[in-house]
Structure 1
Amino acid sequence: MSRSQFIGMLDAYARTDRTVQLWLRDDDAIEPTEALSRLLGLSEGWDAPLTIAAIPAHATAALAGLLRQLPLISVAVHGWDHLNHAPTSEKKQELGLHRGEAVVLSRLAEGLERIRALFGDRAVPLLVPPWNRIAPALVGHLTSLGYEALSVFGPERKEAPLRLVNTHVDIIDWKGTRGGRAMDILYAEAAARLEASETLKTSLGILTHHLVHDEAAWDFLDDFFDLTANHPACRWVAVRELMNIP
């Protein structure tokens, strides 16, 4: 039912000349793997741009060599080393204030510099906080470090001090199987995102983590690409377009 709901929303968009700007963000890449190759193959096969959120401290030259050859790929900055600095009483967070503001901002500046050095013109000045969490006090400093946008999870807040390019559907069941979530639930969330929007262009960000994908996760991606590839309301876009970068 939820899949047909989503198709119904897409059809409604098409009838009113509205567009769904689809984008895919995959987190935690540090090196080439079989799972990453499978994801890159989907991106190439469906001609769908893909944003890789790479961990600067651990990203390898081999990953850079692979991704720099692929025109559909953008590489964002996934924190610095993806280590938790919050106490056990709090949710995991690398980009909190637990180490002090100056330390965290220094690491974020270093992260952007390293991603640019490794990935060249594939790099984008987009910060993807590990665990989708960042202390609000840090956000206002990001532009001074060279970042042009921030990507977390959930609806974009209008009062943010810089552009937000968020994801809205996370395909992984983190609190349960730690594999792919049920397809009906994912389509229901996608449909809800479209239903809540009142703009002519609505972004819909899909969040993946290739290192933990099971067949349920891959099955959803196969189905989602197949459903959206030729629908008149859908456009797969590079994150640069959502960031307004030429």
Structure 2
Amino acid sequence: MSETLLKARLNALAVNGRTVQFWLRDDDAVEPTPALDQLLTLTRRFRVPLALAVIPEPTGEVLADHLRSQDHVTVTVHGWSHRSYAPPGEKKRELGLHRPASVVLGELKDGFDKLSALHGPRFQPMLVPPWNRVDAALLPALPDLGYRALSVFGREDQTLSLACLNTHVDVMDWHGTRGGRDADVLFAEIAGWLAEGGEPLGAVGILTHHLVHDAAVWTFLERLFSLTSGHPACQWMGVRELLASP
């Protein structure tokens, strides 16, 4: 089983006195739901910090009030409305140049200000583009809006002018069943990131979407957290700590 492979790889890191960092990003939060509560309970149980990518336009005080007792949760900006402006035939994209850049950047500023006001110290100045897509021409303007980091999917681009904290393993099978991916495939994928180049990554990002999780996803997450949360070679990190690191 690939879970055994991941455990063996972690054990080897521990023997050599090395550690790997993990972090968890969950997208599309707007309001309290049973699925969100299930994720909050699971992450709190295993002491896994949770970064919620919140859609600013439709959210409000109800979510902010719900999260006030959740000390392990941080909030980041998930675009503005999670609405695609790409024409038919193109991949979905909210943060593209299908509209004037001033309009897109204005919405990103509004989203930053709204979530900062709602969530206070829980808020982190990181942009999570809907569908993990943002036009490169918009990136230079982000620091002036207050953003200090960007999070998309895949290997980090070290040439960016702001910090890049990406996710690397997506639990969802978006192009097939639209449910959870096979657990063995996911464990193997994580193990592969740890072994790449012979050196563990600084932070391996796990990507979830609580609103569409099926039983397979919840079972996988519990298995992953059970394996890693108490392992001497693992550290589950929050966005605040990761962005403060060099």
Q: TM-score scaled to structure 2, two decimals?
A: 0.96
Contact 1:85 1:98 in 2 (8 A): yes
Deviation digits for residues 218-238 of structure 1 (CA, Å, limit 9, x no counterpart):
000010000001111001111
- Counting matched residue pairs gives 246
**Would you say 1:100 and 2:100 are equivalent positions?**
yes
Partner Cα separation in structure 1 for residue 99 and residue 2 of structure 2: 44
8 Å CA contact retained: 2:22, 2:234: yes
Moved more, 228-237 or 12-21: 12-21
1:21 is paired with a residue of what secondary structure? strand
Q: How does 1:78-157 map to 2 (within 5 A)?
A: 78-157=78-157
Identify which range, 77-86 or 13-22, moves more after superposition: 13-22
Give the conservation status (yes or no) of the 8 Å contact 2:193–2:200: no
Classify the secondary structure of the residue corresponding to 2:244: coil
Query: CA contact under 8 A between 1:194 and 1:202: conserved in structure 2?
Result: no
Gaps of 5+ in 1: none
Q: Cα distance, 1:197 vs. partner?
A: 5.1
For 1:47 and 1:41, the matched residues in 2 are separated by: 10
Q: CA deviation at 1:17?
A: 2.1
Aligned residue for 2:34? 34
SS at match of 1:206: strand
* 2:208 corresponds to: 208
2: CA distance, partners of 1:16 / 1:159:
31
SS of 1:124 mapped into structure 2: strand
Alpha-carbon offset, residue 16 of structure 1: 2.2
Structure 2 CA distance, aligned partners of 1:145 and 1:93?
20
Matches within 5 A, 1:21-60: 21-60=21-60
Larger mean Cα displacement after TM superposition, 185-194 or 14-23: 14-23
How big is each residue's C-alpha offset from its partner over 1:192-243, in whole Å with a ceiling of 9 and x where there is no partner? 1111155576211110000000000000001000000111100111111111
What is the CA-CA distance between 1:102 and the residue it aligns to? Answer: 1.0
Distance 1:172 1:201, change over 3 A: closer
Q: Is the 8 A contact 2:194 2:200 kept in 1?
A: no
The CA RMSD over aligned residues, in Å, is 1.5
CA contact (8 A) 2:194 2:201 kept: no
Tell me the distance in 1 between the aligned counterparts of 2:131 and 2:121.
26
Secondary structure of 1:222's match? helix
Whole-angstrom CA distance in 1 between matches of 2:101 and 2:232? 46
5+ long unaligned stretches in structure 2: none
